[in-house]
Amino acid sequence: EAAGVEILRVEEGADGRLDLAAALRTLATRGLTRIFCEGGPRLAAALLAADLVDDAILLTAPRSLGAAGLPALDAPGAAALADVRRFVPLGAESWGADRAEVFTRIGRCSPA
């Protein structure tokens, strides 16, 4: 707060973790309706499990980071993006050796 940031308090969910839906509602009251989340596989999985994802860009590399690396998505998260009842792939492109796949929630025209 001394550095000029605003700290917002949000309730916990039933699991004792941050209630993501409540956090997004709180941000929306501040006018933030488009949020870019790059918090790693745990946050990505939690957002997908809570059905709070409108668009996703999945970046993959041709080789593994090794034993210390983490997958971008866990199995349920990957299954959620592959679920044609929830998401549609908009396309993929290569960025050098890496690949970017874009998904959007069913009912949306294009990613924001």
pLDDT tens digit string along 88-110? 999 999 989 999 999 999 976 55
Report the pLDDT value the prediction gives residue 39, as an integer from 0 to 100. 78
Q: For residues 57 and 69, which has the higher predicted lDDT (pLDDT)?
A: 57
d(CA 82, CA 84): 6
Confidence category of residue 37, pLDDT binned at 50, 70, 90: confident
Q: State pLDDT tens for residues 8-18.
A: 999 898 889 99
Q: Which amino acid would we find at residue 39? A: G
Taking 3-state DSSP, the helix, strand and coil percentages for the chain, each rounded to the nearest 5, stand at 25, 20, 55
Report the pLDDT value the prediction gives residue 97, as an integer from 0 to 100. 92
